[in-house]
């Protein structure tokens, strides 16, 4: 078996997907869609890990596991936050949320 | 005992001189006992009456024994009695040591002798006071410190006594501290003295710098070994600073202002501290370091000039005072001026001579005044009157009620006025003769002589005025009070009698050759003044000049007495309550030329204003705390506010910023 | 053949991503994202990581996306007004995203040998060849059971991060409950 | 005594025990019932003092550190827990341990809330104070230096007066600002020395021996050290935290603050800032700057004290004045001056400590520190009056009491090198007399015109136990300073000689270049 297959195309695809995720974050104001875009970015990174794991060993896969775990945790907490905010403001539009300002 | 001393004590000196520490220890023990009594047994006046004077009399006995031994040995060098090492630092080694020599002997006799008499007098005078034990504690402490002052073998040890007597003076002036005026007077005395002390301290530092020692013996030896420094700037500076110290302690211009106020203390205190002993410390210091002063002719001239000026200036104020103690206070300032005129002239023995005779007759005058005040106070007390017991306008005719006091104060008046044959006559005459003699070299001394002579006239005048207003003429105390005026008890008159005898014959210790005397004191002090004499020797006048000077002094004195008597007895005096306020020039004299007010307006008030408004208000609260400290806090808060404006709280903005940063990092990494 | 499959799934993934960010409705976005996830799972299999592919489907599609849909429906966010940003926002977004894309694509130039060379020139803290033995993953996977080959490093080398991650999950669990509850 | 101490190997463990004892004492203080916390604290501090007394005999008058022990702490960074004692720190340690029981005793009735925490913090404060003076490793010193700050912050912030939070935060930030700069300077210095010698070490002796390795960074490092210590001293114009902190702190806090904490600043100059960088410290510019700031401090502190309506604030400003004498002495360049500075440090600890105790006792009776609220009370409380007068006279610098010895030596020592400044500084004794005598006149003397003062109670036995040791120390040091001076002398001489030599060699190098 050829040791490294589709390395270049995979990395390119990963770059495209990541860029799409960034563009989504920048374009949308809906907090839920924002989270989806973040997930998209994380997936793009996972693809990079998997692609390079062909070269560098199974540590890449281990990293993917960690990323998935963190992503799951992040989605759970993030969505809970959105729920809480929605309850207060009846909106998930980021333009209305500026609690971070001191 | 490692906590106190780690080097072995020096071998004790022989005989009574080895017991010199008792001189200090006895009054100190009296202080401790009386102090303890004043706290725990304030009613035990009997014990206090015994302990207070007894320690002084015992001390006097020791002093006499020491002087007798000194008389027999007549050593050239002083005995140094080392008690312990006080300040051992590197090359500086200051021993707590006592120096016994001829000058110290004179001083300790005066202090313990006159001191004993005043202690005995106080037993009668203060008997009814609530703070009786406290009074004797302070008085004993004062004597202890005064003896440290005159016996200290080095400047710093002397300084312990120097400041210590100031402290006791402070405590005794403010003895009746619940009256604000008394407390003010005590504070003023201490602070004004401190101004002088700065001079003394700086003189010590400079001496240490050039001489490398602060022992009197060491300084004298050093000065004698460096004759080339005579007249040099450094010696002049040292002596000028030292003299600043003297003007504070001995109440000379410009620091004399505390002494008249110091009369707020009990009268025996005025006699002991503010007439006989403490205020003469400045004269003593000049004589003690006479070698330095004789090496600095400029300073000597300043000393003599200030002395003459003070003598004249204070005498003029004395002309128009009505408070009997105030008159005596200005008289003291004036007489101290004489002493400085003497030591400034180079007639050190004459200065000490006048110091001794002045101690006799001025103590007598003060105690006599105390006796008068005591009688007046009792009279007013008996009738519950609130008139001033010290105002001479309320007196008059007291000779009938108090003949002893009158007679003894009369002797003292004649002595201070320079009546021939009495103690003050010889000492004052010697000073004036010295000033006249030095005028041959430095003509300015003729001016000083003239001022001294004029002051003598005024002295005689105001003393005659005092006697006339107090004892002669009709009585003005009041009808009801007159019956209560009585002579003081014998415990008060006794010391007066002794002092009266001393005032009469005190001149005998230094009779001039003119009347067949041997100038005893002058020869006695020669070991002390000899180093100074190497640099400057005063040529005393002889023959016809001397006779002329004596004649002038006698004439002036008698003239003043007569004038004072006539001026006071012919004028109708009304009691203080009904007296009209002074007018014109006399008003300024009565208000002491407004010097206190001037100092207050020029120094005290501006200083307080600067401290309160400028330093505390503007610098401390405004600049440092307001602008710098709280300003920096405000600045950081402001920066924080600006930072918080950057934080919109919009996640989108953060994302954009984050991405821009990520782009930049990528740009660097990927390149 | 395999490359054809690769590019089909790659195209599907990109299409899913584009549609995800352009759909107005969150539900539609979520569904498009799901298609991207599936495509990626297929790509993982193609890249020799069958195990990861399986987890991709299980975790992302099975858990995360369902959670998203659940929240969307819970909040009843169905059809809403357009939440796209204004023209200037879009322009800025495109510029930034474009720049980012260009830079990321530049990474393409990285070949394993070049990376190894750069690492070798870096600080001598790591031995490049020892750290990245080329093709090792495949050999390990071929030699052993696939799960075993992943488990080895996970529970040996990365044991502490693994444990920390479990604590993180616990914290997230508690945090989510606390945040989502109306009143504690 | 010396044999006994040797037989129990006192010099091996004494310094460690001095640190450990209060640390261990905190535990029972926190655990026992509230009512007995103060007794436990008293027992601990008295034991600490008794323990420290052995130093008087165990320590031999000689230059250099004695009772040195060292335990490796963080070997990778060259940090050791190293302690030692020289003639400068010996008396600071004795002063600290001696004041602690008095501080505890004076708080018996003053502190009425959270007693356990209060006494625990006092003990923690003792750890910091003693640690600062015995540390011979800069890392350890820095740790203790910061440890000084935290208990005092709480002591002021919790048990202080009305404006306590402002004062506590001001105190904290002021001091922290300086100490952080000092930390940077320590790290830079250690790094630079390590770069030259190849040995990474925070050891004081190592750094002192190789301090020249810092090269051109010396002025900056000196500035950082000097700023940290100048704030602690405090040198004008960095003094404004002091009045606020003093006024707001509880009595024991004020006492420790004035008597010990300020001395850490001057101690820092003597131990670190000047010996490390003599060429900078003694250069004409820096020397002129420090001496003029010291003289300004002396006069300024006294003048501002003169007009304070609050007695505690008056004493606080008088500290600025007294510490000016210490700074002048350190820069005098003579053994007399340096020993005088050390004596002023001790004397000021005794007399200002006693003054703050007395103010606390006044405050407990009348709940005010305004001078105007008193007057004529010497008749009501004679023993209080006597003690206040004696202590005030010591602060004024009356010869025969302790204050004079230090001031006299400082001025005598500095006259040679700075005659003008010395003459101006000498006038400070006038103002010292003015502000204190005026204050005690308005408190003790004058008319007793306030009826509420007529019922004041005189000092009780517990308060006398607090004050009598201080007054005894005041008289003892005033009349018999010899034993103390002799013990300081080798260290003071070493300080003067090594700094002068360092300055001279740097000047020669300058000329050669």
Q: What is the pLDDT of residue B360?
A: 93
Q: Chain A interface residues facing chain B, Cβ-Cβ under 8 Å?
A: 22, 25-26, 29, 34, 94-95, 97-102
* B256/B288 same-domain check: yes
Residue D370 phi/psi, 5-degree rounding, is -65, 130
Whether C131 shows a pLDDT value over 50: the answer reads no
Is B647 an 8 Å CB contact of chain A?
yes
* B394/B431 same-domain check: yes
**To probe the interface with C, which of A42, A57, A81, A96 has the most C CB atoms within 10 Å?**
A57
Taking residues D226-247, report their average pLDDT: 90
Integer angstrom CA distances of residue A10 from B657, C3, C9, D53: 28, 11, 11, 78
**To probe the interface with A, which of C97, C159, C161 has the most A CB atoms within 10 Å?**
C97
Tell me which of B153, B173, B196 is where a domain ends.
Answer: B153
CA distance, residue B663 to nearest chain C CA (Å) = 6
Q: What is the pLDDT of residue D412?
A: 93
Task: Give the CA radius of gyration of chain D.
Answer: 22
Q: What average pLDDT does the structure give for chain B?
A: 88
* C1/C59 same-domain check: yes
pLDDT tens digit sequence for B175-207: 988 888 888 999 999 999 999 999 999 999 999
Tell me which of C61, C79, C97 is where a domain ends.
Answer: C79
* C75/C39 same-domain check: yes
Is B667 an 8 Å CB contact of chain C?
yes
CA distance, residue D2 to nearest chain B CA (Å) = 13
Taking residues B374-397, report their average pLDDT: 86
Q: What average pLDDT does the structure give for chain D?
A: 90
pLDDT tens digit sequence for C142-182: 666 777 878 888 888 888 888 999 999 899 989 888 887 76
Is A96 an 8 Å CB contact of chain C?
no
ipTM: 0.77
**To probe the interface with D, which of B89, B248, B609 has the most D CB atoms within 10 Å?**
B89
With tokens 């912050």, the residue in question is: D153
Tell me which of B153, B171, B197 is where a domain ends.
Answer: B153
pLDDT band at C134 (very low <50, low <70, confident <90, very high): very low
User: Which residues sit opposite D135 in a β-bridge?
Assistant: D83
Is C130 an 8 Å CB contact of chain B?
no
Residue of A nearest to B652 (CA): A26
Q: Please state the domain count of chain C.
A: 3
D434 in any annotated domain: yes
* C94/C55 same-domain check: no
Which of B6, B194, B625 comes nearest D486 by C-beta? Answer: B6
Q: Which of B249, B346, B368, B364 is nearest to B295 (CA)?
A: B346
Which of C89, C103, C107 comes nearest B667 by C-beta? Answer: C103
* B167/B144 same-domain check: no
**Residue D466's domain spans which residues?**
282-513
CA distance, residue D213 to nearest chain B CA (Å) = 32
* B463/B528 same-domain check: yes
* B234/B298 same-domain check: yes
Which of B9-18, B380-389, B540-549, D170-179 has the weakest average pLDDT? B9-18
With tokens 């004789």, the residue in question is: B294
Which of C26, C97, C100 comes nearest A30 by C-beta? Answer: C26
Please, which residues have CB within 8 angstroms of residue B11's CB and are 6 or more apart in sequence?
Answer: none
Taking residues D429-440, report their average pLDDT: 91
D262 in any annotated domain: no
* C63/C107 same-domain check: no
D308 in any annotated domain: yes
CA distance, residue C92 to nearest chain B CA (Å) = 9
* B82/B229 same-domain check: no
* C51/C98 same-domain check: no
pLDDT band at C79 (very low <50, low <70, confident <90, very high): low
Residue B301 near residue B366 (C-beta atoms within 8 A): no
Verify whether the Cβ–Cβ distance A26 to B655 is below 8 Å.
Answer: yes
Verify whether the Cβ–Cβ distance A57 to C133 is below 8 Å.
Answer: yes
The Cα D8–Cα D39 span in angstroms is: 28
**To probe the interface with A, which of B640, B649, B659, B662 has the most A CB atoms within 10 Å?**
B649
Q: What is the pLDDT of residue D467?
A: 94
- Write b or e for each residue in D289-305: b if 16 or more Cβ atoms lie within 10 A of its Cβ, otherwise e: ebbbbbbbbbbbbbbbb
Tell me which of B121, B136, B153 is where a domain ends.
Answer: B153
* B461/B440 same-domain check: yes
Residue of B nearest to A97 (CA): B650
Which of A24-28, B510-514, D436-440 has the weakest average pLDDT? B510-514
Is B32 an 8 Å CB contact of chain D?
no
User: If DSSP codes are grouped into helix, strand and coil, which group holds residue B87?
Assistant: strand
Whether C123 shows a pLDDT value over 50: the answer reads no
- What global pTM score does this model have? 0.83
* B583/B611 same-domain check: no
pLDDT tens digit sequence for D349-382: 999 999 999 999 999 998 888 999 988 888 889 9
Tell me which of C132, C148, C168 is where a domain ends.
Answer: C132
Mark whether C and A touch (3+ CB pairs within 8 Å): yes
Hey, what domains does chain A have and what are their CATH numbers? 7-96 (1.10.287.3510)
Is C106 an 8 Å CB contact of chain B?
yes
Is D220 an 8 Å CB contact of chain B?
no
Could you tell me how many residues make up chain B? 671
pLDDT tens digit sequence for C26-65: 888 899 999 999 999 999 998 888 888 999 999 888 888 8
**Residue C97's domain spans which residues?**
86-132
* C6/C60 same-domain check: yes
Is B649 an 8 Å CB contact of chain A?
yes
Q: Please state the domain count of chain B.
A: 3
Please, which residues have CB within 8 angstroms of residue D105's CB and are 6 or more apart in sequence?
Answer: D42, D462, D465, D466
Q: What is the pLDDT of residue B1?
A: 43
D147 in any annotated domain: no
The Cα D478–Cα D391 span in angstroms is: 12
Q: What is the pLDDT of residue B401?
A: 86
For chain B, list the contacting chains (3+ Cβ pairs, <8 Å). A, C, D
* B183/B166 same-domain check: yes
Residue A87 near residue C76 (C-beta atoms within 8 A): no
User: If DSSP codes are grouped into helix, strand and coil, which group holds residue C80?
Assistant: coil
The Cα D206–Cα B21 span in angstroms is: 52
Verify whether the Cβ–Cβ distance C33 to A40 is below 8 Å.
Answer: yes
Residue D327 near residue D293 (C-beta atoms within 8 A): yes
Is B660 an 8 Å CB contact of chain C?
yes
CA distance, residue C143 to nearest chain B CA (Å) = 36
D410 in any annotated domain: yes
Verify whether the Cβ–Cβ distance B5 to D480 is below 8 Å.
Answer: yes
* C71/C92 same-domain check: no
**A29 interaction partners in chain B (CB closer than 8 Å):** 652
Residues 419-438 of D with CB under 8 A from B: 419, 422-423, 426-427, 429-430, 433-434, 437-438
* C4/C59 same-domain check: yes
With tokens 């016996």, the residue in question is: B151
Taking residues B295-312, report their average pLDDT: 93
D88 in any annotated domain: no
**Residue B643's domain spans which residues?**
597-670
Which residue did the predictor score with more confidence, C180 or D238?
D238
D366 in any annotated domain: yes
Q: What is the pLDDT of residue C112?
A: 56
Is C54 an 8 Å CB contact of chain A?
no
Which of A10, A12, A59 comes nearest C47 by C-beta? Answer: A10
Tell me the two tokens of residue B208: 């240490």
**D447 interaction partners in chain B (CB closer than 8 Å):** 178-180
Q: What is the pLDDT of residue C80?
A: 59
Task: Give the CA radius of gyration of chain B.
Answer: 31
Q: What percent of chain B has pLDDT over 90?
A: 44
Taking residues D427-455, report their average pLDDT: 89
Which of B656, B663, B670 comes nearest C106 by C-beta? Answer: B670
Q: What is the pLDDT of residue B573?
A: 77
* B293/B402 same-domain check: yes
Tell me the two tokens of residue B263: 């009369």
D122 in any annotated domain: no
Q: What is the pLDDT of residue C126?
A: 44
Which of C135-144, D285-294, D326-335, D441-450 has the weakest average pLDDT? C135-144
* B196/B128 same-domain check: no
pLDDT band at B571 (very low <50, low <70, confident <90, very high): confident
Q: Please state the domain count of chain D.
A: 1
Verify whether the Cβ–Cβ distance C154 to A62 is below 8 Å.
Answer: yes
Please, which residues have CB within 8 angstroms of residue B165's CB and are 6 or more apart in sequence?
Answer: B142, B145, B146, B149, B273, B277, B278, B281
Mark whether A and D touch (3+ CB pairs within 8 Å): no
Q: What is the pLDDT of residue C96?
A: 84
CA distance, residue C133 to nearest chain A CA (Å) = 6
* C112/C152 same-domain check: no
């Amino acid at each position: 078996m050829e040791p490294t297959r589709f390395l270049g195309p995979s990395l390119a695809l990963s770059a495209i997907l990541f860029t799409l995720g960034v563009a989504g974050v920048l374009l949308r104001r809906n907090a839920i869609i924002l989270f989806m875009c973040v997930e998209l970015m994380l997936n793009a990174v996972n693809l990079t890990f998997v692609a390079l794991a062909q070269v560098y060993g199974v540590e890449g896969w281990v990293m993917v596991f960690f990323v998935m775990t963190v992503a799951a945790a992040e989605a759970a907490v993030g969505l809970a936050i959105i729920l809480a905010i929605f309850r207060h403001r009846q909106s998930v539009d980021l333009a209305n949320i500026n609690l971070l300002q001191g | 005992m490692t906590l106190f001393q780690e080097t072995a004590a020096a071998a004790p000196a022989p005989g009574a001189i080895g017991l010199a520490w008792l001189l200090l220890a006895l009054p100190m023990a009296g202080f401790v006992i009386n102090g303890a009594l004043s706290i725990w047994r304030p009613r035990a006046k009997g014990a206090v009456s015994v302990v207070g004077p007894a320690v002084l009399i015992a001390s006097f006995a020791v002093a006499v024994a020491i002087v007798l031994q000194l008389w027999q040995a007549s050593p050239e060098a002083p005995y140094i009695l080392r008690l312990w090492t006080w300040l051992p630092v590197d090359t500086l080694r200051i021993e707590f040591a006592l120096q016994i020599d001829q000058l110290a002997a004179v001083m300790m006799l005066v202090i313990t002798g006159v001191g004993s008499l005043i202690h005995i007098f106080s037993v009668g005078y203060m008997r009814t006071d609530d703070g009786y034990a406290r009074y004797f504690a302070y008085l004993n402490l004062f004597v202890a410190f005064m003896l440290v002052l005159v016996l200290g073998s080095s400047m710093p040890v002397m300084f312990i006594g120097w400041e210590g007597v100031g402290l006791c003076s402070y405590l005794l002036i403010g003895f009746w501290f619940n009256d604000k005026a008394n407390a003010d007077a005590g504070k003023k005395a201490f602070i004004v003295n401190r101004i002088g002390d700065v001079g003394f301290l700086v003189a010590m530092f400079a001496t240490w710098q050039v001489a490398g020692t602060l022992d009197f013996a060491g300084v004298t030896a050093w000065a004698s070994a460096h004759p080339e420094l005579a007249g040099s700037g450094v010696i002049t500076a040292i002596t000028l600073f030292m003299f600043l110290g003297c003007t504070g302690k001995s109440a000379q211009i410009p620091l004399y202002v505390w002494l008249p106020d110091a009369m707020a203390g009990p009268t025996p205190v005025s006699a002991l501290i503010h007439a006989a002993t403490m205020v003469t410390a400045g004269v003593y210091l000049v004589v003690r370091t006479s070698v330095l002063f004789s090496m600095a002719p400029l300073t000597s001239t300043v000393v003599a000039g200030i002395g003459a000026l003070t003598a004249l200036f204070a005498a003029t104020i004395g002309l128009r005072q009505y408070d009997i103690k105030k008159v005596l206070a200005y008289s003291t300032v004036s007489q101290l001026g004489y002493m400085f005129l003497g030591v400034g002239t180079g007639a050190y023995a004459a200065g000490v001579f006048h110091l001794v005779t002045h101690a006799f007759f001025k103590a007598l005058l003060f105690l006599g005044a105390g006796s008068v005040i005591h009688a007046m106070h009792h009279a007013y007390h008996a009738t519950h009157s609130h008139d001033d017991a010290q105002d001479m306008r309320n007196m008059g005719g007291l000779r009938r009620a108090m003949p002893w006091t009158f007679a003894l104060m009369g002797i003292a008046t004649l002595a201070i006025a320079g009546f021939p044959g009495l103690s003050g006559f010889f000492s004052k005459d010697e000073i004036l003769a010295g000033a006249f003699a030095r005028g041959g070299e430095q003509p300015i001394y003729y001016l000083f002589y003239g001022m001294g002579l004029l002051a003598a006239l005024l002295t005689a005048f105001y003393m005659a005025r005092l006697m006339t207003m107090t004892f002669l003429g009709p009585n003005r105390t009041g009808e009801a009070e007159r019956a209560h005026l009585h002579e003081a008890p014998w415990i008060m008159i006794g010391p007066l009698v002794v002092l009266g005898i001393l005032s009469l014959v005190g001149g005998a210790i230094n009779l001039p050759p003119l009347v067949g005397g041997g100038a005893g004191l002058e020869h006695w002090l020669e070991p002390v003044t000899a180093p100074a004499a190497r640099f400057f020797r005063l040529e005393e006048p002889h023959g016809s000049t001397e006779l002329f000077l004596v004649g002038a002094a006698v004439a002036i004195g008698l003239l003043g007495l007569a004038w004072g008597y006539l001026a006071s007895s012919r004028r109708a005096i009304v009691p203080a309550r009904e007296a009209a306020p002074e007018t014109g020039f006399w008003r300024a004299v009565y208000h002491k030329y407004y010097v206190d007010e001037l100092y207050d307006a020029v120094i005290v008030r501006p200083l307080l204003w600067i401290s309160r408004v400028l330093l505390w208000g503007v610098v401390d609260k405004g600049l440092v705390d307001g602008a710098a400290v709280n300003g920096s806090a405000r600045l950081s808060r402001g920066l924080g506010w600006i930072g918080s404006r950057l934080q919109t709280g919009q996640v989108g903005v953060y994302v954009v910023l984050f991405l821009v940063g990520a782009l930049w990092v990528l740009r660097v990494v990927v390149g | 053949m395999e490359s054809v499959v690769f590019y089909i799934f790659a195209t599907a993934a990109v299409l899913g991503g584009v549609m995800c960010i352009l759909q107005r409705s969150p539900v539609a976005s979520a569904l498009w994202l799901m298609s991207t996830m599936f495509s990626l799972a297929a790509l993982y299999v193609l890249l020799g990581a069958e195990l990861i592919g399986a987890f991709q489907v299980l975790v992302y599609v099975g858990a995360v996306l369902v959670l998203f849909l659940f929240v969307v429906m819970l909040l009843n966010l169905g059809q809403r007004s357009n939440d796209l940003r204004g023209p200037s926002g879009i322009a800025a977004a495109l510029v930034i995203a474009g720049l980012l894309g260009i830079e990321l694509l530049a990474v393409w130039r990285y070949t394993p040998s070049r990376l190894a060379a750069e690492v070798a020139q870096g600080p001598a803290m790591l031995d490049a060849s020892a750290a990245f033995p080329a093709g090792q993953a495949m050999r390990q996977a071929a030699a052993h059971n696939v799960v075993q080959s992943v488990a080895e490093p996970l529970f040996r080398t990365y044991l502490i991060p693994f444990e920390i991650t479990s604590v993180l999950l616990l914290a997230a669990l508690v945090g989510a409950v606390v945040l989502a509850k109306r009143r504690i | 005594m010396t044999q006994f101490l040797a037989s129990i190997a006192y010099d091996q463990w004494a310094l460690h025990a001095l640190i450990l004892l209060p640390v261990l004492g905190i535990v029972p203080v926190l655990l026992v019932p509230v009512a007995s916390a103060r007794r436990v604290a008293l027992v601990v501090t008295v034991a600490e003092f008794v323990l420290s007394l052995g130093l008087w005999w165990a320590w031999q008058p000689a230059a250099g550190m004695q009772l040195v022990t060292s335990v490796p702490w963080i070997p990778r960074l060259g940090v050791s827990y190293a302690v030692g004692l020289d003639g400068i720190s010996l008396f600071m340690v004795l002063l600290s341990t001696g004041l602690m029981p008095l501080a505890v005793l004076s708080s018996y009735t003053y502190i009425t809330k959270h007693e356990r925490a209060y006494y625990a913090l006092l003990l923690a404060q003792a750890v910091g104070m003693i640690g600062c003076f015995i540390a011979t490793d800069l890392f350890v010193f820095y740790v203790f230096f910061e440890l000084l700050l935290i208990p005092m912050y709480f002591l002021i912030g919790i048990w202080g007066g009305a404006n306590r939070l402002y004062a506590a935060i001001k105190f904290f930030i002021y001091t922290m600002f300086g100490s952080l700069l000092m930390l940077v300077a320590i790290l830079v210095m250690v790094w630079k020395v390590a770069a030259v010698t190849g040995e990474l070490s925070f050891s004081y002796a190592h750094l002192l021996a190789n301090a020249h390795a810092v090269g051109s960074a010396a002025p900056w490092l000196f500035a950082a050290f000097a700023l940290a210590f100048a704030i602690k001293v405090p040198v004008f114009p960095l003094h404004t935290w002091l009045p606020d902190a003093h006024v707001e702190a509880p009595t024991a806090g004020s006492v420790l603050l004035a008597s010990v904490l300020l001395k850490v600043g001057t101690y820092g100059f003597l131990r670190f800032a000047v010996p490390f960088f003599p060429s900078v410290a003694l250069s004409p510019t820096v020397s002129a700057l420090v001496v003029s700031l010291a003289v300004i401090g002396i006069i300024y502190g006294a003048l501002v004290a003169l007009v304070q309506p609050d007695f505690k604030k008056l004493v606080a400003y008088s500290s600025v004045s007294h510490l000016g004498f210490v700074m002048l002495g350190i820069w005098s360049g003579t053994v007399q001056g340096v020993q005088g500075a050390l004596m002023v440090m001790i004397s000021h600890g005794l007399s200002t400590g006693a003054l703050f105790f007395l103010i606390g006792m006044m405050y407990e009776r009348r709940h005010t520190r305004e001078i105007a609220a008193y007057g004529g009370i010497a008749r009501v409380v004679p023993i209080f009056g006597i003690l206040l007068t004696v202590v005030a006279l010591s602060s004024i610098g009356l010869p025969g009491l302790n204050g004079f010895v230090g001031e006299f030596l400082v001025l005598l020592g500095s006259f040679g090198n700075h005659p003008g400044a010395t003459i101006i500084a000498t006038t400070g004794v006038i103002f010292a007399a003015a502000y204190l005598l005026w204050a005690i006149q308005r408190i003790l003397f004058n008319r007793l015109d306030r009826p509420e003062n007529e019922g004041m109670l005189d000092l009780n036995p517990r308060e006398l136990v607090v004050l009598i040791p201080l007054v005894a120390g005041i008289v003892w040091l005033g009349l018999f300073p010899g034993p103390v001076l002799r013990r300081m002398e080798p260290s003071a001489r070493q300080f003067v000689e090594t700094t002068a030599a360092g300055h001279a060699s740097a000047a020669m190098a300058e000329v050669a270049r």
